[in-house]
Structure 1
Amino acid sequence: DADSDTDSELDEAVASSEWVALTKYPRAFYEGQPGWQGIPGAVRGGRDVLAGLSSNCCNHSNRTWTVAVPAGQSWVTIPREQLTMSDELLVWGTKAGQPLWPPVFVNLETRMKPDAPRLHPDVDFSEDDPLEATVQWAPPVWPPHKVLVCQFYYRRCQGTTWTLLEPEVKSIPLTPIEIQDLELATGYEVFGRCRMEKEEDLWSDWSPILSLQTLPSAPKDVWISGNPCAPGRQEWLLLWKDRGHCMQMNYKVWFQVKDQELIQKTAPCCNLFIPTQAEWVGVSAVNATSWEPLTNLSLACLGPDFAPHDVVVSSIPGRTELLVTWQRGPGELQEHVVDWARDGDPLENLSWVRLPPENLSVLLPGNFEEGVPYRITVTAVSPWGLAPAPSVWRFREELTPLAGPVLWRLQDAPPGTPAIAWGEVPRHQLRGHLTHYTLCAQSGTRPSVCVNVSGSTQNITLPDLQWGPCELWVTASTIA
């Protein structure tokens, strides 16, 4: 019923565009070419396809309808609302009356892209070792009442590789997801997707990622910043290495002071001051698993007779590490602990490594800087206490000092004979092991006179000093 002007515009559009045609049943195509193909006037009765499929065109058998595709576009969307779920269709394309591809058979009963599955946030964990997690999930809301095949992947937090849990998990019957061999105190991520059982290449979008955290765990590496055999300190700083990966934990610390009851404190990660009178300490995580024991350490001083000896710290040319060697002391040992700290760093910046009792050397990891003093201590650990060797100060490479010592004048001894003293150069300014001092004096316009002084000397009398105004200074020297 369209007027002739409208028919002419439609004919021109059909001739210059790409078209996608759908026919309701296969036989409608195979019994002959669609009447509109190559004959623009034949589709005038479907003029509304230029704006979109008509809402009732799909409910008639043997009907063929078309959708115009803009030039240069390689896809087209056909709203499902204009189709029937159980339809079987053939889809093909034409341009200027010529087919673009062979007809593609589509069964709308199975050709569906489902919604994403839903993962429930409440996760159950096993109560014994090895640790397992059970994740409940729900199939997609759409399509309803269909058997879907789903895949679920998981990875450790901050990981890059996703691991497939099972090749195929069906939605009917619905069973939970099980993740095995997990680590304590670790975060994990899980997500999944689904497809129709007979459509192997049409997956849903990925579900939102579910983040889960396994049960907290006691730290396995506990140490103290301080020498249990050194008198005078009121507190030690207890340190431990956090086992948590992508999760924060609180910890319970127990310690025993002689002739007192056990004391318990709660602390965040990963240090706590304890009194030096404590003879024993244990650390666990809040809400830790029932099967995991706390980590304990005996703090009693075993004395120098049991300590390692002949501790030597060496630098390695061309490398940034430090090599530590020692000889073991007598008695039964659990392990050796080597700890180190940069001069001036806070107590919590202590680093340490644990070694089997038969190990008598270690290459300390890290980037030890030139001219920076590091304190290294080797300690023998037994079930009954600790025996630290005297600490060793070491530079990876010695440099020239940044400053000399501060001078001050003493009372003349005897009267008329000047006397001076000077302080030590701080280690971080000395930048090496002191070899000697150099004392220089200059009176008026005379040349300065210098003399080397032993590194163990910090005061001197000057009986030969010229009378009158005089300038004095002292420099420090290292082996650099």
Structure 2
Amino acid sequence: MVEPRTWSLARAAMIILLLPRGLEQCGHIRLSAPIARLGDPITASCIIGQNCSHLVPDSEILWKLGAELQPGERQQRLPDGSLESTITLPHLNHTRAFLFCCLYWNNRLQILDQAELQAGYPPTPPHNLSCLMDLKSNNLICQWEPGPDTHLPTSFTLKSFKSRGNCQTQEAPILDCVPEAGQSRCSIPRKHLHLYQTMGIWVQADNVLGTNQSQKLCLDPMDVAKLEPPTLWALDPSSEAAPPPPNCLRLRWELWEPGQFIDQKCELRYQPQHGEASWALAAPLLPRTFQHELCGLLPATAYTLQMRCIRWPLPGHWSDWSPSLELSTAELAPVVKMDTWWRQRQLDPRTVDVQLFWKPVPLEEDSGQIQGYVVSWSPSGQAEAVLCNTSELSCAFRLPPEARQLALVAYNRAGASRPTPVAFSESRGPPLAGLHALGQDPHSLWVGWETPSPQPQGYVIEWGLGPPSPSNSNKTWRIEHNGSITGTLLRENIRPFQLYEITVTPLYQDTVGPSQLIYAYSQEKDPSLAPELHLKHIGKTWAQLEWVPEAPELGKSPFTHYTIFWTNAQDQSFSTVLNASARGFVLHDLEPASLYHVHLMATSRIRATNSTGLTLMTLALEESELHILLGLFSLLLLLICLCGAARLCCGPRKKNPLWPSVPDPAHSSLGSWMPSIMAEETFQLPSLRDPSMPPIAKITVLEEEEKKPGPWESSDSSGTCGLPTLVQPYVLQGDSRAASTQLQPQSSPSNQVLYGKVLGSPTGSGPGHYFRCDSTQPLLGGLSPSPKSYENLWFPNSPLGATEAPSSSQEDDCAFGPLLDFPLLQGLQVHGVEELEGF
């Protein structure tokens, strides 16, 4: 048995013999093509030689493309004993990649061989081939565009040959021109060219996948000649020639010396040095002329000029633009009119201090630049006297007493403008009807006015910083020549958050109107604080308030109005609005000894700002005033009571009292129960034949004041049993139609019982009359039951409405019994019968 130490040594020796380098020499890769078209398939095979196969007889050959394993197609043993594996890549999508043949050995993937794969495209035909003959270097320079990238090394060759006519025949080849690496242009030296002879030119592109050519050019090298640009010069003025007009420039040029024998034409372009104007081409220049006058330019302006030339009339290429030439046009006398304005101050009766302002208004597009202004006047018979010569737009001087009109001119080195007359008009025109101003934005102000009558010819608007800036300092002004306008927007010299003083003056024919002044902020800030509210005086029903507004702050909106709010202890709110000039206010109609909360709100054009709140208590009434008020209240209450009592006492008695007046039965008599009829009362009694007349359950006898004895003892047709006059009215006055009909008692015990009053006279011969009473009071209860609804004075055994008279034995009962048994009279001891007998 082999010892472990001996086995380890043998294993180490085998590893040393089978190093990876020895394995790499065993395999070899063969490719169908090392360079393929991008996307095309490619085939490879890996062969392990016979000398290495005995080491790995059963091993599998693996493939890797880059870092990815690829499955092989087949693996076989060749007749010579070597082992072969084949792989086909259907689409080679890598422009460059490495293919590895591998084998697992000692649990590791070992590379046996590798091969580089390349893929790309065949070259496309080069295009846009163009050539020009550089006469300065005498080389024919051609350039082209190579086309898309092939991903493979591609070479370009400029090929040419000499020919005649239209290059259909090739006479002699010209040496090929190979450009530098990465270049797409190539030059053919002059020594290989034949000028004024045609030649054919093309470009050929080559790589491993193919060859392609561009279209052929057939040209004469001189037909593509490019000249050098000319040289520009300013034309020197001569004493004989007149100077150029102010808007013109004169120049000359010299052609490139080697090309002077070539006929050519040139182009001239120009542009102002200052500004953003683009280049402008001059009119076509005549051939073989070497000077030109360029007109239509701005006076007193510097211009940049350039020129280029081309072979003419034969074909050729334009030269590059020449180096720039800078020239300036001459000045033009100013062509302007003047807008003028002035301010005057009378120093003494013969001396007037005048400050004159003016603004030049160009009358033409090219009016010429202005160097200065002259203000003068012409005394009669004397030379012109200059009052002011300045480059500013204003001038101050003392006006001579005899001067009524001045002249103002603008001048430069080319001359002076036409004089503008300045007349000092008196202020006798009508003023503006109204003036207002408003800040539109941080850098503009809108000023408006109402047109006076008659309409002015124009307006002068002046504006500048308001107080605390000095008056008339740095003021800006302008004239509006349209007299029908009612406002204008001021944008010049306007800064945000500034107070401006604006003056508008109407202009009339030969006179002016008085100036109107207004202040406005260009942009206003919020007011910082509202005025603080103070209590000045207070009373029982009033309170006097006051406040002191802050001084106007620069750039802050002034207050337009104030609003005072006050609230009482019951949260009832009141308010009032005051204008901005108010400095105090009195609260009226307050309650004595009451608490009020007051605050002030100040409002501007920007927003409203609240002041601090104020709490106040009105004064209480004094003790004497309370006594007076209580006394007056007591007198009023007493007067109301007296009036009510007088009405109750003096007014007529009501017919239906709220409750019946029932006397004490123990101290009453039947006579005292009988109320006397009022003389002034007149009753309208219903007809006794009224079918709707209900039966009467209560009869009240109304006595007349004067009672005369009459034949009441005699019997009448009504069948009253010969009752005395007092008792007779108690006889039932029933319905005559019910005499023959026995009435049935009503089933409902809750029926109401009606009462009535009987009007009768003991002296009258006719029957008594009655009328219903409004009362529905039920009959009083007593020892005997109350009569039924169909009963009145008779007992239940007496039928209702009996028409026969009672017997003589019942006469006394007929007279007095029913009275004693009447429910209202039960339990009473009736007195006064003797009084009845006296009748």
Cα distance in structure 2, aligned partners of 1:241 and 1:98: 73
Cα distance in structure 2, aligned partners of 1:212 and 1:336: 40
How far has the Cα of 1:435 moved from its partner?
6.4
Residue identity matched to 1:280 = L
1:306 has 2:419 as partner: no
1:274 maps to 396
Distance 1:384 1:396, change over 3 A: same
Cα distance in structure 2, aligned partners of 1:353 and 1:328: 17
How far has the Cα of 1:251 moved from its partner?
1.5
Match of 1:429 among 521, 546, 554: 554
Cα distance in structure 2, aligned partners of 1:206 and 1:66: 33
SS at match of 1:341: strand
Query: Deviations for 1:142-190, whole angstroms, at most 9, x for unmatched residues?
Result: 5214333333344555143444332x3233245624423x555555554
Cα distance in structure 2, aligned partners of 1:381 and 1:322: 20
SS at match of 2:433: strand
2:137 maps to none
Q: Alignment RMSD, CA only?
A: 5.1
Distance 1:151 1:297, change over 3 A: same
Match of 2:374 among 243, 246, 253: 253
2:227 maps to 113
1:71 maps to 181
Match of 1:19 among 146, 149, 157: 157
Cα distance in structure 1, aligned partners of 2:452 and 2:233: 56
Cα distance in structure 2, aligned partners of 1:453 and 1:22: 100
Distance 1:110 1:201, change over 3 A: closer
SS at match of 1:76: strand
Contact 1:325-1:362 at 8 Å conserved across structures: no
Residue identity matched to 1:113 = L
Cα distance in structure 1, aligned partners of 2:178 and 2:358: 72
Distance 1:229 1:424, change over 3 A: farther
Contact 1:88-1:108 at 8 Å conserved across structures: no
Distance 1:83 1:217, change over 3 A: farther
Residue identity matched to 1:253 = V
1:91 has 2:213 as partner: no
1:395 has 2:521 as partner: yes
How far has the Cα of 1:205 moved from its partner?
2.3
How far has the Cα of 1:393 moved from its partner?
2.0
Contact 2:333-2:369 at 8 Å conserved across structures: no
Query: Deviations for 1:224-262, whole angstroms, at most 9, x for unmatched residues?
Result: 68x5245679663635359699x9752232234989952
SS at match of 2:275: coil
What are the within-5 Å matches in structure 2 for residues 66-465 of structure 1? Answer: 66-77=176-187, 89-96=199-206, 99-108=213-222, 111-116=225-230, 118=232, 120=234, 132-142=247-257, 143-155=259-271, 157-166=274-283, 168-174=284-290, 176-180=292-296, 182-184=297-299, 188-198=303-313, 202-207=317-322, 208=324, 210-218=326-334, 220=336, 222=338, 228-229=343-344, 236=355, 238-240=357-359, 249-256=370-377, 261-263=384-386, 266-268=389-391, 270-275=392-397, 277=399, 280-289=406-415, 292-294=417-419, 296=420, 298=422, 300-303=424-427, 305-306=428-429, 308-315=431-438, 320-327=444-451, 333=457, 335-343=458-466, 344=469, 347=473, 350-365=476-491, 371-381=497-507, 389-400=515-526, 429=554, 431-433=556-558
Count of residue pairs the alignment pairs up:
377
Cα distance in structure 2, aligned partners of 1:256 and 1:169: 52
Contact 1:377-1:392 at 8 Å conserved across structures: yes
Distance 1:78 1:354, change over 3 A: farther
Distance 1:34 1:386, change over 3 A: farther
Find the structure with the greater CA-based Rg: 2
Query: Deviations for 1:410-461, whole angstroms, at most 9, x for unmatched residues?
Result: xxxxxxxxxxxx99957x7263457699xxxxxxxxxxxxxx998699xxxx
Cα distance in structure 1, aligned partners of 2:528 and 2:314: 75
Cα distance in structure 2, aligned partners of 1:340 and 1:202: 63
Cα distance in structure 2, aligned partners of 1:203 and 1:197: 10
Distance 1:400 1:28, change over 3 A: closer
Contact 1:119-1:191 at 8 Å conserved across structures: no
Cα distance in structure 2, aligned partners of 1:224 and 1:403: 45
Distance 1:331 1:367, change over 3 A: closer
SS at match of 1:108: helix
Residue identity matched to 1:338 = I
Distance 1:401 1:79, change over 3 A: farther
Contact 1:328-1:360 at 8 Å conserved across structures: no
Distance 1:169 1:90, change over 3 A: farther
User: % of aligned pairs identical?
Assistant: 15
Distance 1:399 1:300, change over 3 A: same
Cα distance in structure 1, aligned partners of 2:516 and 2:344: 10
Cα distance in structure 2, aligned partners of 1:325 and 1:108: 78
Distance 1:34 1:158, change over 3 A: same
How far has the Cα of 1:322 moved from its partner?
0.9
Higher mean C-alpha displacement, 102-111 vs 376-385: 376-385
Unaligned runs of 5+ in 2: 1-152, 532-547, 563-577, 584-601, 607-839
Contact 1:165-1:179 at 8 Å conserved across structures: no
Cα distance in structure 1, aligned partners of 2:176 and 2:510: 88
Cα distance in structure 1, aligned partners of 2:355 and 2:605: 35
| Structure with more contact order per residue of length (Cα contacts < 8 Å, sep ≥ 6) | 1
Residue identity matched to 1:286 = N
SS at match of 1:152: strand
Distance 1:373 1:185, change over 3 A: farther
Distance 1:103 1:242, change over 3 A: same
Cα distance in structure 2, aligned partners of 1:221 and 1:477: 48
Cα distance in structure 2, aligned partners of 1:315 and 1:272: 29
